[in-house]
């Protein structure tokens, strides 16, 4: 869409620098003058809510932390070690961690050429996560680049088994994200739930699961609720986003999120659901608050 920030570049921004200062308009919902509208939400407790930091790169992380506290939930997704102290300052949880090295969606575990560096990065960050009290660590398959799916599965298993014993020992959940290869991430290998589930089975580890991105999987396969019901035991985390366009999850898009959230709750999911839409409305933080309320079933 016009003006949409490329997620790959956003990930790099998370790791190498602080976000630019947000405008006073963006932060208007969280002014010092409080009214009834701005009071923390009274959440039901069935969903563990979070938000992906990269979608709010126009807002400094500290301001986002303040907003999250004011909305009334307690976690932020996709945070690297350098930013954990900021979350801890506000009593927030890093619900999905990055490792501290180079993060690439295209150079993942399906390619043996990247295994040495990936193993180094993951084995270095796991002890840091243990010390900080965090549990979830994202990973990616990488692009196909002409590789068939079976070879990709075998290579992923080989690489992941080098880090999973350490994850198991320390109670860390390694989670591979499902991304669409139709619109946003051309050639990405882990683009179907069935492929990801097969990878989970082959690793044979309870500490390897899938990050099911509802936006991405609606684009590549649809049938979201049935897929969640049939495969929930392999899913450890969820991301949201409006389809098409990855904007607000309101009635401007095709998915009905209350029903999806009810289906997730019915599976007994105890992990997090993180908002990962790019706000199109002027008041970005009000959009976040509205989304959390919509998903709080």
Whole-number pLDDT of residue 25: 40
Chain center to CA of 79 = 10
Domain 49-295 listed as CATH 3.30.565.10: no
User: Running DSSP on this structure, what letter comes out for residue 222?
Assistant: -
Question: What pLDDT does 16 receive?
Answer: 46
User: Where do the domains of the chain lie?
Assistant: 49-295
pLDDT of residue 22: 41
pLDDT value of position 216: 98
Q: What is the pLDDT of residue 50?
A: 98
Residue tagged 């010390």 (tokens) = 131
Positions in the chain whose pLDDT score sits under 50: 1-5, 14-36
Neighbour-count burial for 265-297, b at 16+ CB within 10 Å, e otherwise: eeeebebbbbbbbbbbeebbbbbbbbbbebbbb
Degrees (nearest 5) of the Cα angle 52, 55, 61?
75
| 5-22 pLDDT tens trace | 455 555 555 444 443 334
What's the pLDDT score for residue 92? 98
Q: Are 213 and 249 in contact (CB under 8 A)?
A: no
So what's the pLDDT on residue 101? 82
Whole-number pLDDT of residue 27:
41
Distance, CA of 203 to CA of 43 (rounded, Å): 36
pLDDT digits (tens, 9 = 90+) for 214-229: 999 999 999 999 999 9
């Amino acid at each position: 869409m016009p003006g949409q920030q490329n997620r790959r570049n956003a990930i790099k921004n998370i790791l190498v620098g602080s976000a630019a200062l947000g405008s006073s308009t963006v932060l208007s919902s969280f002014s010092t003058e409080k009214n009834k509208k701005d009071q923390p939400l009274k959440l039901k407790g069935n969903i563990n809510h979070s938000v992906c930091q990269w979608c709010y790169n126009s807002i400094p992380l500290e301001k986002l932390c303040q907003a999250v506290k004011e909305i009334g939930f307690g976690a932020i997704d996709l945070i690297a070690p350098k930013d954990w102290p900021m979350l801890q300052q506000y009593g927030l949880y890093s619900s999905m961690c990055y490792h501290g090295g180079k993060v690439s969606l295209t150079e993942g575990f399906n390619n043996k050429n990247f295994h040495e560096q990936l193993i180094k990065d993951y084995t270095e960050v796991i002890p840091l996560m243990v010390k900080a009290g965090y549990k979830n660590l994202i990973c990616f398959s990488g692009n196909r680049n002409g590789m068939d799916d079976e070879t990709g599965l075998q290579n992923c298993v080989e690489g992941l088994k080098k880090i999973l014993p350490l994850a198991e020992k320390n109670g860390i959940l390694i989670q591979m994200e499902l991304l669409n290869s139709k619109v946003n991430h051309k050639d990405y290998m882990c683009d179907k739930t069935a492929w990801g589930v097969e990878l989970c089975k082959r690793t044979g580890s309870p500490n390897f699961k899938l990050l099911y991105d509802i936006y991405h999987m609606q684009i590549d396969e649809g049938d979201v609720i049935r897929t969640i019901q049939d495969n929930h035991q392999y899913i450890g985390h969820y991301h949201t986003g409006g389809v098409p366009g990855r904007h607000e999850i309101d009635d401007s898009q095709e998915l009905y999120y209350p029903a999806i959230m009810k289906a997730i709750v019915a599976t007994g999911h105890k992990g997090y659901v993180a908002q990962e839409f790019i706000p199109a409305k002027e008041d970005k933080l009000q959009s976040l608050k509205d989304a959390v309320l919509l998903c709080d079933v």
